[in-house]
Amino acid sequence: MTEPSRHSPREEIQESAMVRTTPLHSVHAAAGASFTDFGGWQMPLRYASDLAEHHAVRRRAGIFDLSHMGEVKVTGPGAAEALDHALVGSISKVALGRARYTMIVAEDGGVIDDLIVYHVGDQEYLVVPNAGNRERVADELVSRCRDFDCEVNDISLTMALIAVQGPRAEEILRDVVDSGAGIPSALRPEDEGVPTADEDCGPDVLCGPTILRRLRYYAAVRATAAGHSIVLARTGYTGEDGFELFCGAEDAVDLWTVITGRAAALAPHADQADESGKPIPVLTPCGLAARDSLRLEAGMPLYGHELTEETTPYDASLGAVVALDKPEFIGRQALVARAAREGAPGTLRLVALAGGGRRAARAGCTVFREGRRVGTITSGLLSPTLGHPIALALLEPASPEEPQWAEGTSLDVDVRGRTYPMRVVAAPFYRRPR
């Protein structure tokens, strides 16, 4: 068992700074980005228009710098068993080349962070925590995995993460991704009659267009892109098809430049032009504002809003990620007790709400049912795609007998002293066309 990896003096200075910058900071500054402090990092909030960036991802594609996210590598013969002990999900059941959404909780069941764990190699896993929780998650993993035959290394400051999301993401990356490992469990079956040239890429290796086409959702393989070694994952936080590319920090600027350059060479669709009639680019740089509106439309939780250390996965209506069939993991006893209390006073449920008009409820707004307070909005906005207000809310159970709120139930939300009606709807609010 090892402690998190040591950094160079330069990295230690960066580590101790109040606000860090990603390897792509100069690229964003040159593009005119507006920045915000997020999770201890100075990140692009927007480049021009929040709405334009949101619509770009829904209609074409957007490119995001996600290098503020953490990367913690867990390796060794006992890695899977250690992660089963440390996290709520059954990581040992994740096939090579696949990924799983999971959580790390405290002994009392409160959510420390939500994570994605990628099984990237034999006895090797990549754990991706949120930026603001990275150091705590890394420390928790070191502590929780100490008695197992594995090593835990926080490699976050050596890595960068670029996401390309949207209906044209695969097309954009076709001339960027050179090849990827042909791991059967990570791949969709090959379509009959689709020609490939994979014999030119080497044994057990698929050429770029094939690996992009066949990579499953929530799968990840080692690959090369623009000559750089990467981990290529079909994951995202937007509700659209897309890819996330983990690369070395030193490769980030070149990889971003190649991706945007190849996208610029693609022809825009004839029916997609701005108000002046100028064709809209295929790929648009996007900031955190668009990422937040996209994830909310997709019904995806955000740590610090839907998930906190005061809520359990069951309170956030995410009990399905908890593997209570595992005999032991940290927080199991508390979560078994919480699962048995579904509908009891003091428990919560995460509920999707939709309203009319143009006035959106925001985080912190109070929700009422027939004049009685029943909960609080955790995230809300006027949906750019749907054109009406949407929100997620943590509510008390509808009743002890039927905890789940029925679709169509009318509720009222206090927005700055005025009450607006909203109704319970199914999540997600938006599903991409198939």
| Tens-digit pLDDT string for the chain (434 aa) | 444 443 433 343 344 457 899 999 999 999 999 999 999 999 999 999 999 999 999 999 999 999 999 999 999 999 999 999 999 999 999 999 999 999 999 999 999 999 999 999 999 999 999 999 999 999 999 999 999 999 999 999 999 999 999 999 999 999 999 999 999 999 999 876 666 666 678 789 999 999 999 999 999 999 999 999 999 999 999 999 999 999 999 999 999 999 999 999 997 775 666 656 677 899 999 999 999 999 999 999 999 999 999 999 999 999 999 999 999 999 999 999 999 999 999 999 999 999 999 999 999 999 999 999 999 999 999 999 999 999 999 999 999 999 999 999 999 999 999 999 999 999 999 999 88
In whole angstroms, give the CA distance from residue 161 to residue 19: 18
Let me know if residue 88 belongs to a domain: no
Last residue of a domain, one of 278, 294, 310: 294
Identify the CATH number of the domain in which residue 355 sits. 2.40.30.110
Q: What are 12's two structure tokens?
A: 């230690």
In whole angstroms, give the CA distance from residue 102 to residue 91: 9
Based on the fold, state whether residues 328 and 381 are members of the same structural domain: yes
In whole angstroms, give the CA distance from residue 51 to residue 21: 25
Structural domain range at position 53: 20-68+160-294
Let me know if residue 326 belongs to a domain: yes
Identify the CATH number of the domain in which residue 259 sits. 3.30.1360.120
Based on the fold, state whether residues 334 and 369 are members of the same structural domain: yes
Let me know if residue 78 belongs to a domain: no
In whole angstroms, give the CA distance from residue 43 to residue 22: 8
Let me know if residue 115 belongs to a domain: no
Based on the fold, state whether residues 185 and 286 are members of the same structural domain: yes
Q: Where are the beta strands (DSSP E) in 208-241?
A: 220-225, 228-233
Based on the fold, state whether residues 178 and 46 are members of the same structural domain: yes
Based on the fold, state whether residues 353 and 391 are members of the same structural domain: yes
Last residue of a domain, one of 294, 326, 344: 294
Based on the fold, state whether residues 411 and 276 are members of the same structural domain: no
Helix or strand or coil: residue 409?
Answer: coil
Specify binding-site residues.
Answer: 244
Based on the fold, state whether residues 272 and 368 are members of the same structural domain: no
Let me know if residue 285 belongs to a domain: yes
Let me know if residue 101 belongs to a domain: no
At residue 147, what are phi and psi to the nearest 5 degrees? -90, 10
Based on the fold, state whether residues 225 and 175 are members of the same structural domain: yes
Q: What are 178's two structure tokens?
A: 């050179």
CB environment 51-81: b (16+ within 10 A), e (fewer)? ebbbbbbbbbbbbbbbbbbbbbbbbbebbbb
Distance of CA 237 to the CA centre of its chain: 4
In whole angstroms, give the CA distance from residue 65 to residue 110: 29
Specify binding-site residues for substrate.
Answer: 244
Based on the fold, state whether residues 176 and 306 are members of the same structural domain: no
Domain count within the chain = 2
Based on the fold, state whether residues 273 and 326 are members of the same structural domain: no
Based on the fold, state whether residues 299 and 411 are members of the same structural domain: yes
Give the angle 195-199-202 at the CA atoms, nearest 5°.
140
